[in-house]
Amino acid sequence: MRKIKITMAIAPALAVGLLGAGAATAHAAATGHADDGDTYYVAPWGQPGDSDYSCTTAAHSSISAAVAAASAGDTVVVCDGIYRDQVVISKPLTLIGRPGAVIDAAGQRRLNVGGELPGSIGIGVVGTRDVRVSGFKVEYAGFDGILVARSSYVTLTNNVLVHNAYVGVDLNGSSWSNVTNNLSEYNAGGGFLVADDLGRTYHNDVSYNVASHNAGGGGVILAGHCTAGIIDNLIGHNLLTDNGTAPSNSGGGVVITTSVAGETVADNLVTGNTIHGNGLAGVTIHAHLPGENLNGNWITSNDIGVNGILADPIGLSASSWSKNVAVPDVRTTGVLVGTASPIRVRISDNNIHDNHYGVFLEGKGAGVYAALFGNDYNYVDVPVEQIGG
């Protein structure tokens, strides 16, 4: 066992609460609504021609129809009921679900966002900015519960994402957005995903959420899927429990990873989270190939209980290894860094407890430069395990 303590410069911490929502565009009130934007109501009993001043008098029975009718800066209020719909928002507006508003996206068409998605979504914010979505239960989507694609200054709050075929919330090619106070559970591919399939994803705040029992993936996943980059995102104060417990597709509480050559997943801050019961280590960092940039990620002030209940093969490129095999982590672990590329990370001031390994570092032929300080190890057999360079 070797303890590695190397001082390093880390990008400044992101501020919590990146609100950044622009002013709503004024919209002339065609139906006599307020000058700062019209309000449209949706209810299962909505009828065209009704006065549309309340749930009782809603003029729409379809969320998509109300969104299509709304202009930039307007508000769509969705009343109690089950809506079998796939809602796509491509202009600045506010979408509010009243208690009992449910979007059931089962069987909807596949959305095309520069390429056809594998399945339906519940709500998609696509190619726009200054959108707020709150108060919905979104379930049974063939892909994401909520997708934010190529958009900025989007706020998602107080939504419940359950039983979707991929993740609860997917931030993709998007920036300066807040995902706060949402519950994501029982989704097949994970709780919250920050990815770059659709462009660089940066300066997002994923905080004060709950991700639980998402068996096929991590609680929060920062996954580099191309070379656009995932940079300067905040993952803070979330409760991340019992995710990634499927042996065929396991995941950790927070996963920072890429298997794309030349990719960057860097300078992200993971702080103040409560993490336990996940299949892989509480915070898992995997750089699978040489030439990847996962530097400057900062893991600090988290409460990390027992994690790594499944073995982690780590799965690094064989070309990086003198013996063509990586050494798997088969014990419970708080934080794991497995890399085929040189990497600099900071792991500080965490409470790591009830694990065999506190921190597991593996980088044979690559080099793991970890600034480890201020961590408390309680009921941990091996505080720091270092394998390779």
pLDDT in tens, 152-178: 999 999 999 999 999 999 999 999 999
What's the CATH class of domain 79-387? Answer: mainly beta
Using the 8-state DSSP alphabet, how is residue 319 labeled?
A: G
Query: Are 371 and 5 within 8 A, CB to CB?
Result: yes
User: Global pTM?
Assistant: 0.89
Q: How far apart are CA 157 and CA 96, in angstroms?
A: 10
Tokens 């900015």, residue? 129
Size (the chain), residues: 389
Using alpha carbons, select from 35, 84, 89, 32 the residue that is nearest to residue 66.
89
Query: Are 177 and 155 within 8 A, CB to CB?
Result: yes
Phi, psi for 64 (deg, rounded to 5): -60, -40
Q: How far apart are CA 363 and CA 342, in angstroms?
A: 8
What string of DSSP letters covers 235-263?
EES-EEES-S--TTS---SEEEEE-STT-
> 354, exposed or middle or buried, with CB in 10 Å at 0-12, 13-18, 19+?
middle
What region, left, alpha or beta, does residue 226 occupy, with left being phi > 0 and alpha being psi -120 to 50 degrees? beta
> 247, exposed or middle or buried, with CB in 10 Å at 0-12, 13-18, 19+?
exposed
pLDDT value for 364: 63
Using 50 as the pLDDT threshold, list the residues of the chain that sit under it: 1-35, 319-324
Q: How far apart are CA 16 and CA 19, in angstroms?
A: 9
